[in-house]
Structure 1
Amino acid sequence: MAHNIKNKNVIFTILTLFIVSFSIYSILTYIDSKQDMEYLKSKNIQQLNNLHSSIQENLENQLKSRINFILHLNKRNEKIDAINNNDQKALFELFSPHFESLKGQINGFSIMQIFDTKGISLIRLHDSNNHSDDLSQFRACVKDVIQNPRSCTFFEVGKNGLALRHITPIRNDENKIIAFLELGVTPYVFAKQIQNIFDSKSYFFIKDEFAVSNNKNKLSTFGYSLCTLCSSKDEFIDDIAQTINLNNKEHDDIKYGHKTYSIFEKSIYDALGQEIGKIVIFNDISSYTDQLQTLILKSIILLIGTLIASYILLNGYIKKIFDKLNFSKFLLNNINDEIYVVSTDDLSIMDVNERACITLGYTYIEIKNLKLSDFTHSYNNEIQIDWYKKVNELKQKHFIISREIHARKDGQTFPVESNISYIKTDTKEFMLLVSRDITNQIEMENKINQKAKELQRLNTIISKSALYTTTDLNGNITYISEAFANLTGYDKDYLIGKNHRVFKHDSMQKEFFDTLWSTISNNQRFVGEVKNYRKDGTSYWTKIVIDPIFDDNGQKIGYSSYRENITDKKELEYISSHDALTGIYNRREFVKRLQAQIKSASRYNEKFGFIILDIDYFKKINDTYGHQVGDEVLITLSNIIKENLRADDFFARWGGEEFVIIAKYSDIKSLEELVHKLQNKISIASFAPVPRVNCSFGLTIYKDGDNDESIVKRADKALYLAKENGRNRYEIG
């Protein structure tokens, strides 16, 4: 009896340890699976957030670039006049082509409006019959932009629903704001792109205090209403909207039908920085939750079965060792994995569990007469598995994990992952294979890989649009975006390893690059504007932002740089400061330089001279030879004077046939020497068909208390005196 009691205690101890271990394993497996699901959910939310930000940034950039074209590169003067004159017909004719073009270029584009600096609508291209109303009375965003003029992008709710809007000031040639241009895009494009990429449902909800519609049938929930003009209302949102409190930061997953959804929300703001609503995205996570529920159910069933067996053993009589072995086999037969005991000598099947028989479709006797190689094939479509090599590998490592294809009796195949252990007794050597059907796992891996490819595609899109490079510590290129390579005209592969000096323009000063390297060498951000060469020799301007790159240990390993193509901006700056005919500086730029020179002279007690000159009898030249010859005379004279001035001197066209010169650090004597030099160069120059060209000069120097008007007036009087005294001479004022 004592012996029997001892056996009973042994069985009880073993089963108790098994139950505890199984329970711990089940709990840990559940926790691990739960963490995996939460991780995948967080990754999806992060990807959705990044995608939303990318879509909004892309729309903002599109609107900004189109505004630049509309306001600066196409019939600018006519548009300014039409705005100043409040000419409705002209405004419609000038701006409606842009409106129609943008509707085809930007998906969801639907709003174009111009209003003046008081907020009065001059024209609505999207509602041409409705204008002249005071927008500032019912649109706080417009009122704020008028009071604090700026370019801004924001969401706003109007009678046509929610829209992403961009407002920018319209300036005249004196840089004075005369009106504002507003463009808008329906946010439906957000929902559509998110649904196309992530197969998610997305809806826009507006805070009730900002909602325009008073429809009693509107869908509301906890202070928010569904924007039916920018989100499609369907049965799904009708059923679950009332259960969602958008005032909460976090939301529990919801069940709808046979599917489970995680909820991600992102606030949207108006121009005042007020939250006016949210975009709510419902991401289908049914596949994750179903797996987790299946795991829980299987664990509970298996645990209950174990507890029942343990209860019977603990409350029954002493069982023989054979009963114990049968019970162990019962457990093996009822788990979901296939178990095979295989001889290492000839791969013959020594034993299998019931799951293996059910899965392969053979009876226990049939499968015992097979070899492992009869129903196991290579996962990678090899001709056959080298079992000799695999067995030797197993004997060395004692444990390996391998993926194969198993073939059922009816010919169907399915993938498995096998944990293979090498076991050696005193008389036998064999392999123990625990194989699991991984069909669902592979489907999940394929979905993940597909999502990864989609993300890679998005990265490729960014590479094609962002001007981005990375370099090592010496400025040698380690990565270059496709967009920047296209801008430079070089092949990407060619530029890898090349130094940024390959783009350097001759006009860039050494001091610029000294400052650049000094800044980034001290681990600070550098921001500047740089002119570079393309491969074909043409030049371009970019605004560049350079930041240091650090590795995981905090060591600086290189630099990253983002660029903005500002070539058009620089060209506009050149046009605004240079005379179109002669290419020298214009009067506007000259006045700015003269005022700056007067301030410097007053502060540092510096001397400088001022010369104004006029071509004698220029009207006669135009009348005799025509204005084209007159223009050539102006160009030739400008080149002669420019070539004979010092680098510090400043030369500009004052207007008509008059020119002005600022001669730094000069007195009257040096001014007279300069005039004699210019008279000599002009007298020997060819102005054909004009036989001879002479000039009269008025000279003066800066005096304490001078301003730009007084010094110009004094030199102009001297010029007038030179004209009175016979021309082709100079006088001092």
Structure 2
Amino acid sequence: MQYIKYFDDSPITFFKYKKDYTLDYVTSNVEKLLGYSAEEFLSNKIDFESLIHKNDKEKIQEQFNCIEFEEEITLEPYRLKTKENNYIWIKETKKVFFNENNEKEICSYIQDITKEINLKQNLFYTNKIIKTVYDNSLHLIALLKSNGTILRINKTALDIIKDKEEKVLNIKFWNASWWISEEEKFQLKTEIKKATKGEIVVSEKNILDKECNILDIELTIKPVYDNNRIIYLVCEGRDITLHKLKEKKINHYNEIINKQLISITDKDGIIKDCSEGFCKLTGYSKNELIGKKHTVLKHPQTKDKLYRNLWETILSKKIWKGRHKNLTKDKKVFWVENLISPNLDQNGNLEGFTAIYNNITNSKKIKDLLVIDTLTKIYNKRYFNKIFKKFIKKFENFNKSFSLIIIDIDFFKQYNDNYGHLKGDEVLSKVARTLKETLRKNDYVFRIGGEEFAVLVTNSNENSILTVAKKLKDAIYNLNLEHKFSEFNRVTISLGIKTINEKNEEKIDKNKIFLDADNALYKAKREGRNKIF
């Protein structure tokens, strides 16, 4: 059987067994497949069956027994352990033949199909991602072949164009009926060609809806890779018609269309896959995230209660929506809105979860700008008014006592006039920072005027608030900031206090509380400054 040696240069590995199932021959390319030489198999140093994955042995043995009744059988794919302790997937065909002595023998043809299996698995998770995005997205989404042929289109798009999916499948994207002009179709064909070369193409287009109204959409075409080869294109369109009508003269603060931010986990929360956009947002590579839990991103200030509620919801096979704070790999804070959808198998059993994120970090920063004083980085007067009302409401409803302290930097006008406004700004920042660092975490400090500050202290009485006020006054005094135009030769503060700890029949008037604290402050200044009243 000299022809068997031709298998040595083939991707097929050939085994031949005698009638008693002892190995009679194996091609030398077995070493390329499994790392063991043919001699090691023939001398029984390596037992082929010992290399079969333990979870596959029973299944393979059952199928192998069928060779008694059939002349040829192809086994289901199974895993073999290589010499380097890696597992590969193989496809095996066994065939019965009879030798020149009419003795029954068995030959086996084995082929490595690991890449094929991995591709199928990748396509499975890709479909999971697409299904989740399709089911939840408000955008128009189409999945194309790399040549521009439509493979899928989501319900949002179909509702707008009033068409059934089967009517638009297998046509070129640029030939679809919803595009208005030939020029636009030509541009689209060019843009798809760019995307097939690895570019992410963003443009604005016009389409016709089901009532023949012209809609403005922002279209993003993104390539999908497999082993550095582009296999699909994802086209995502956002309806910007109202935006274009209302804000034609205003530039967008952010580009609305971004790469989807997606991660997939098993049912224990272990990350199995994630998008490039998610990696870019977090600063981690895909290899660094896969196999980890999302706790690698958890911000220490995020409460455990949020995660308990999250898990209770998704383990009951419901969708969870929420927002939370996280940390990137280099410990930068980012905020996301998060939608987590359970992935179920055909029998309704929980397999894992798909999470879709929306980066809202910039929105949080804008919100912070509304309550933070730009110069001193402490809360501003706008936020003071809001928190002051909450303190009063807590007192009225739950009898939670509190104190208001109004603080003024002594002789600050003389400081500015003689040292200059830049130095004055430095003093304001240092005083603000010191006041904040001296207070407890559940107390508040605000800048409410030029050199004027307000402090709200919870659960206080006359004795405890005097202790707090003295700490604040001494902390500023001990900064030892030079002020030659003050009688103290350093920067000092005066403080006025109003404490609310007893209810009466009259409704609490926040203006009166503020006025009482302000009057106390001016008494402190009349009495010589650097004092508390």
Contact 1:595 1:707 in 2 (8 A): no
**Match of 1:603, SS?**
helix
Contact 2:335 2:364 in 1 (8 A): yes
Does residue 1:603 correspond to 2:401, yes or no?
no
Which of 641, 664, 668 is the aligned partner of 2:458? Answer: 664
User: Could you tell me how far apart the structure 2 residues matched to 1:619 and 1:537 are?
Assistant: 41
Contact 1:526 1:545 in 2 (8 A): yes
Contact 2:141 2:234 in 1 (8 A): no
User: Could you tell me how far apart the structure 1 residues matched to 2:452 and 2:141 are?
Assistant: 49
Give the aligned partner of residue 331 of structure 1: none
Question: What residue identity is the alignment partner of 1:537?
Answer: K
Which of 432, 439, 445 is the aligned partner of 1:638? Answer: 432
Does residue 1:724 correspond to 2:500, yes or no?
no
Change (3 A) 1:514 1:202: same
Does residue 1:709 correspond to 2:511, yes or no?
yes
Give the aligned partner of residue 699 of structure 1: 497
Change (3 A) 1:646 1:56: closer
Deviation per CA, 1:29-86, whole angstroms, max 9, x where unpaired?
xxxxxxxxxxxxxxxxxx9xx99x9996489xxxxxxxxxxxxxxxxxxxxxxxxxxx
Q: 1:689: Cα distance to partner?
A: 6.6
User: Could you tell me how far apart the structure 1 residues matched to 2:408 and 2:138 are?
Assistant: 58
Deviation per CA, 1:505-555, whole angstroms, max 9, x where unpaired?
233233332332233233332222222222233222111111222111111
Does residue 1:561 correspond to 2:326, yes or no?
no
Does residue 1:202 correspond to 2:177, yes or no?
yes
Q: 1:627: Cα distance to partner?
A: 1.1
Which of 366, 376, 379 is the aligned partner of 1:585? Answer: 379
Contact 2:482 2:491 in 1 (8 A): no
Change (3 A) 1:676 1:467: same
Pairwise mapping of residues 500-539 of structure 1 onto structure 2 (< 5 A)?
500-539=294-333
Which of 233, 258, 270 is the aligned partner of 1:457? Answer: 233
User: Greater relative contact order: 1 or 2 (C-alpha under 8 angstroms, separation 6 or more)?
Assistant: 2
Which of 209, 213, 216 is the aligned partner of 1:268? Answer: 209
Aligned residues: 317
User: Could you tell me how far apart the structure 2 residues matched to 1:485 and 1:587 are?
Assistant: 39
Percent sequence identity over matched residues?
34
User: Could you tell me how far apart the structure 1 residues matched to 2:209 and 2:290 are?
Assistant: 41
Contact 1:202 1:231 in 2 (8 A): no
The RMSD of aligned alpha carbons is 3.8
Contact 1:533 1:540 in 2 (8 A): yes
Which of 265, 277, 292 is the aligned partner of 1:483? Answer: 277
User: Could you tell me how far apart the structure 1 residues matched to 2:458 and 2:412 are?
Assistant: 29
User: Could you tell me how far apart the structure 1 residues matched to 2:310 and 2:323 are?
Assistant: 11
Pairwise mapping of residues 215-364 of structure 1 onto structure 2 (< 5 A)?
230-231=180-181, 268=209, 275=211
Contact 2:483 2:491 in 1 (8 A): no
Give the aligned partner of residue 302 of structure 1: none
Contact 1:464 1:482 in 2 (8 A): no
Q: 1:664: Cα distance to partner?
A: 0.6
Give the aligned partner of residue 186 of structure 1: none
Contact 1:203 1:232 in 2 (8 A): no
User: Could you tell me how far apart the structure 1 residues matched to 2:182 and 2:433 are?
Assistant: 67
TM-score by length of 2: 0.53
User: Could you tell me how far apart the structure 2 residues matched to 1:268 and 1:532 are?
Assistant: 40
Change (3 A) 1:600 1:624: same
Worse overlay, 702-711 or 586-595:
702-711
User: Could you tell me how far apart the structure 2 residues matched to 1:592 and 1:460 are?
Assistant: 41
Q: 1:503: Cα distance to partner?
A: 1.3
Contact 2:141 2:235 in 1 (8 A): no
Q: 1:467: Cα distance to partner?
A: 0.4
Contact 1:268 1:276 in 2 (8 A): yes
User: Could you tell me how far apart the structure 2 residues matched to 1:54 and 1:523 are?
Assistant: 19
Change (3 A) 1:580 1:201: closer
Give the aligned partner of residue 494 of structure 1: 288
TM-score by length of 1: 0.39
User: Could you tell me how far apart the structure 1 residues matched to 2:174 and 2:414 are?
Assistant: 78
Change (3 A) 1:537 1:666: same
**Match of 1:458, SS?**
strand
Deviation per CA, 1:279-334, whole angstroms, max 9, x where unpaired?
9xxxxxxxxxxxxxxxxxxxxxxxxxxxxxxxxxxxxxxxxxxxxxxxxxxxxxxx
Question: What residue identity is the alignment partner of 1:728?
Answer: N
User: Could you tell me how far apart the structure 1 residues matched to 2:178 and 2:208 are?
Assistant: 12
Q: 1:613: Cα distance to partner?
A: 0.7
Give the aligned partner of residue 681 of structure 1: 475
Contact 2:140 2:237 in 1 (8 A): no
Q: 1:615: Cα distance to partner?
A: 0.7
- Runs (5+) with no aligned partner, structure 1: 1-46, 60-152, 155-163, 165-192, 205-229, 234-265, 270-274, 280-452
Pairwise mapping of residues 138-217 of structure 1 onto structure 2 (< 5 A)?
197-198=172-173, 200-202=175-177
Greater radius of gyration (CA): 1
- Runs (5+) with no aligned partner, structure 2: 1-129, 143-155, 161-167, 184-206, 216-228, 239-256
Contact 2:265 2:272 in 1 (8 A): yes
